[in-house]
Structures are given as structure tokens and as C-alpha cells.
Amino acid sequence: MAKNLLTINDLTKKDILDLIAFSNNFIDEDGNFRKEDLFPDKIVANVFCEPSTRTKMSFAVAAGNLGCNVLDFDVDTSSIQKGESIFETIDALNLMGVDLCVLRHPESVIRDLAEHLPKMVFINAGEGSISHPTQALLDMKTIIDHKSDLDGLKIVIVGDLDHSRVTSSFVEGVSNFDIDSLVFCGHPEMCQKYQNTDFGIYEPDIDKALKDADVIMTLRIQYERFEKDLNLDLDSYKSAYQLSSEKLGYAKGDAVIMHPGPVNYVEITESVYDSENSVIRQQIANGVAVRMAVLSRFLSS
């Protein structure tokens, strides 16, 4: 396995399946996590230069469950506020003996950092709109938990796909499997990258897109990543793309509904979020198990 987890393409199909199988050892059926002092001599720094709740906290919980020392790096009170670059910042952590850096950054800096600091292990926790490999792993685990396999499924992704690193990593991850079809759905201006691909179909009509779907992944509009003001009429956006109970009727009865969070209830109604088909809260718990597996593997290699 590669030394760092920078993109899901650092993993083979076997690595993906092994990590998911390994993650199952860390969570029981009631959602309780195994806690063991497996890495008491390892220091993990959580460096998040963009907002986060689920990813940041689940990495902290995962590292804590494995007995690591966890440094919660606070960008707002760090020397980044005095103009220090991310390179000097991470080098300083490296010189202090930090073994593994979990990094979220709006720009693509992680590859250069990994190259220049070979002693440190890097795990990508979100890179601009480009990549979010541990999210893809937890999403694939959640689907496998419910459907036992990714092969043969119709998977629909609805929302702001262009700005979504969740989508890009998920698409790379599932390209290792024999899924039946991958359908991209959303406002044409939010799906420009996905209108002509050879790995999926763009279908702007949500009713058609959802027909017989096994998995529906819904996504928030990433207002913070739009370069110009988004002149969007929310009511018409909702009537076209919000996943409601009525639209859910087009999918298979046992379709699973996913969302990486945070949920704005523009992309999905509260009743669909709370419905039996929703596995959104399980995704959060699976995030800890998958990150325990990832940290264990990458701290041991």
C-alpha cells in the first residue's frame, strides 16, 4: 500500500475491500467502537484549514480510540494568522515529531507536502473540490453494509456535483467495481463536469434519474465554492432537485439514501432524511470505523 492516502486511486480494489473489511472489526452492530491502546507512541495532528464537523471529529475520535496522541490544530489561533505558510506550519509539526498529518485544505498542497516531508504520513481529509478519499471509503462501506456488494447497483448522485470532492472520490472509488449504472443529476450549472463522461450518464430530470435506483446520494449546494454570486431561486431549485418522499417513489422501495453532511434541507426534505431508507446517520458512525482502519493501516506501514 502507498505510504500516504492522497487520493482513492492510491488504493487498489483489494486495498479498498480489505480496508472496509478491516473497519468492520472496529464497530459492532449497536454502533459501539472498539477502543484499544494500539498506537500509544504515535502522534496524529488534525490540521483543518476549512470548516468541518464530521470528518475532523471522526478522525479525532478514531485516533483516540486507537490510543494515539491527537493534536487538534486550531488554524484560527495558529501562526497561519501571522502569515506563516502551510508548508512552514506542517514542517514545524514534522520537526516536533508528529507521525501522521490529517489535512483538509482548500488548495492542492498535500502532494507537495508529502514529497517534501517523507518522514510524515499524510491522509487527505478534503482537498478543494478535488478529493476526499476517506469519505469515499465510508460511503462504499455504507452501501456494502446494506446491499452486500457494489456490483450491479444503479447509483444516482443528485445536487452540486461540480464542487463536490465527495463525488469525485466516490466516482473514482466505484470505478473499481461492476456497478450497473452511475447517473448524475442536478442543475446544469452545477453538473458541468459530469455532462459528457464515459463513466456515467447525466440526466437533468430527477424523476427519470431516480427510476429504479438502488442508491441515491444527495449533496449540499457548496455556496462557499461558487466564484460568482449564485442567483438561484430556491423554490424552483427545490421543486426540480430536492429529494422528497414523492420523488423517492421513483426509486426502488429498498433504495438507500445517503448524504455526506452537513444537510441544509434544500437538497433533501426532513421527512426523507428521517425515513427508513435514510442511512445518513450510519454514514457518520461508519466514518469513525473507516478512519480507525485507515489510521491503523497507514500508521503501521
Task: Give residues in contact with ligand NCD (CB under 6 A).
Answer: 54-55, 126, 132, 135, 165-166, 220, 222, 260-261
Q: Which is nearer to ligand NCD, 100 or 161 (CB)?
A: 161
Backbone angles phi, psi at 72, to 5 degrees: -95, 95
Q: Which residues contact 143 (CB under 8 A, 6 or more apart)?
A: 150, 153, 155, 215, 256, 258
β-pair partners for 258: 217
Query: In angstroms, rounded to a whole number, what is the distance separating the alpha carbons of residues 159 and 20?
Result: 26
CB nearer to ligand NCD: give 94 or 269.
269
Cβ nearer to ligand NCD, comparing 99 with 139 = 139
Q: What minimum distance in Å lies between the beta carbon of 190 and ligand NCD?
A: 12
Nearest approach, Cβ of 245 to ligand NCD (angstroms)? Answer: 22
Q: Which is nearer to ligand NCD, 139 or 214 (CB)?
A: 139
Distance, CA of 176 to CA of 179 (rounded, Å) = 9
* Cβ closest to ligand NCD, residue 125 vs residue 209: 125
The least distance separating ligand NCD from the CB of residue 264, rounded to whole angstroms, comes to 9
CB of 132 to ligand NCD, least distance (A): 5
Radius of gyration of the chain (CA): 19
Coil, strand or helix: which one is 28?
Answer: coil
Q: Minimum distance from CB of 134 to ligand NCD (Å)?
A: 9
Contact status, residue 282 vs residue 142, Cβ threshold 8 Å: yes
C-alpha cell at 266: 434544500
